[in-house]
């Protein structure tokens, strides 16, 4: 086994104190750009590897962040989650931390016990939460324990904790306004169940856009169910079976899987997607651009959110910020317009919040 290079050797090579080297490597101090460049060059040349066991003992920290997520259905890939994970992995590694991914339990008690064990055994310094809902037991438990965490998503208005969220209401309002601009007035929504916090937030945008346009939404136009292809297909079939005078000519969907199902149902029903029935999705998954026709969808800044969540949590851990000072950051999504929602005879007016993807 080769001899381990020491921190002092890196310091000698880069011409600074070993305390400065340690702080730069651990992201605890800012130095002049040329000094930082010399330090990292010495790290690479000497192939320096920190002794994380000794580091953890000195700092009384594990330099590990816990993360668990609800698994996707076996037949439904989740590229948004993959992007989110990769962004957090990279951001954490740059600051000398790693992610510990642990199993998700649908049973609330088992779920909380997983968090408790990781806390009490000091295997993690903090947690990242996602898929946050109303009265989320994880949020309630971690707030009670005063254990560091950040979340991708909000919960009850009276619960205050560090979080970053996408303004889903704004995103669905963009999609609905786009369909209104295409001349549609009977616009349906393929939504999630009413207990879904994220779903309710997105639906606020739909109702707002319809209200501003002076259109009263009909109960028949709101179809609620799981965000899966099968539900999208059946919901669209029900909408197309409505009497002609109230049959929707457009549909906004709360995710792309529902939108893909709706496209298939519309095509099976003998209608043309885009020119006759406009359809939009949400998430802008990679498959959206390869459908026939390509799917208009709301794109979330998922990579940036993952990076910012890690930075926020580490700032909390390193006492650069406090949880009490932090307000939820709302990030705006972007509507990517494609053929599934465009009418050939309508002007292609694209506001600044929207991008066109041919």
Number of folded domains that form the chain: 3
* pTM for the structure as a whole: 0.79
Which SS3 state, helix, strand or coil, does residue 293 take?
A: coil
* CA 309 – CA 305 distance, rounded (Å): 6
What mean pLDDT is predicted for residues 116-121?
91
pLDDT tens, position by position, 64-112: 999 999 888 777 778 889 999 999 999 998 888 899 999 898 899 999 9
CATH number at residue 193: 3.40.50.2300
* Residue 207 shares a structural domain with residue 347: yes
Q: Give me the mean pLDDT over the 141-157 stretch.
A: 93
Query: For 177, how many CA atoms within 13 A lie in the half-sphere containing its CB?
Result: 19
Query: Which of 79-83, 127-131, 202-206, 269-273 is predicted with the least confidence, judged by mean pLDDT?
Result: 79-83
Whether 143 is covered by a domain: the verdict is yes
Considering the domain architecture, whether residues 327 and 340 belong to the same structural domain is answered as no
Edge-to-edge strands, sheet with 329-331 = 98-101, 64-67, 126-130, 149-152, 163-166, 329-331
Q: Based on the domain organization, do 224 and 242 belong to the same domain? A: yes
Q: For residue 19, give its domain range.
A: 7-50
Q: How many CB atoms lie within 10 A of CB 156?
A: 14
Same domain flag for 16 and 111: no
């Amino acid at each position: 086994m080769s001899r381990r290079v020491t921190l002092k050797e890196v310091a000698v090579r880069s011409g600074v104190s070993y305390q400065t080297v340690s702080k730069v490597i651990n992201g605890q101090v800012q130095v002049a750009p040329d000094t930082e460049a010399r330090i990292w060059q010495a790290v690479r040349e000497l192939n320096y590897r920190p002794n994380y066991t000794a580091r953890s003992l000195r700092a009384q920290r594990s330099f590990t962040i816990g993360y668990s997520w609800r698994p996707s259905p076996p037949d439904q890939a989740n590229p948004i989650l993959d992007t989110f994970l990769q962004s957090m992995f990279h951001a954490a590694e740059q600051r000398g931390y790693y992610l510990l991914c642990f199993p998700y339990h649908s049973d609330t008690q088992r779920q909380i016990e997983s968090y408790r064990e990781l806390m009490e055994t000091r295997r993690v310094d903090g947690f990242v939460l996602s898929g946050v809902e109303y009265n989320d037991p994880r949020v309630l438990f971690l707030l009670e324990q005063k254990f560091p965490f950040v979340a991708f998503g909000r919960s009850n208005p009276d619960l205050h904790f560090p979080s970053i969220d996408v303004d889903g209401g704004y995103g669905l309002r963009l999609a609905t306004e786009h369909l209104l601009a295409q001349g549609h007035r009977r616009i349906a929504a393929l939504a999630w169940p009413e207990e879904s916090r994220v779903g309710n937030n997105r639906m606020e945008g739909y109702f707002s856009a319809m209200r501003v346009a002076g259109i009263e939404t009909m109960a028949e136009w709101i179809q609620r169910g799981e965000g899966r292809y099968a539900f999208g297909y059946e919901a669209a079939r029900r909408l197309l079976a409505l009497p002609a005078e109230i049959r929707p000519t457009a549909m906004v969907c709360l995710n792309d899987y529902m939108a893909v199902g709706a496209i298939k149902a519309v095509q099976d029903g003998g209608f043309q997607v885009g020119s006759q029935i406009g359809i939009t999705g949400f998430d802008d998954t990679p498959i959206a651009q390869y459908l026939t026709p390509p799917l208009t969808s709301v794109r979330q800044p998922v990579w940036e959110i993952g990076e910012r969540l890690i930075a926020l949590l580490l700032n909390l851990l390193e006492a650069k910020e406090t949880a009490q000072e932090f307000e939820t950051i709302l990030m705006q999504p972007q509507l990517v317009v494609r053929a599934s929602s465009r009418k050939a005879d309508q002007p292609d007016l694209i506001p600044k919040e929207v991008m066109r993807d041919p």
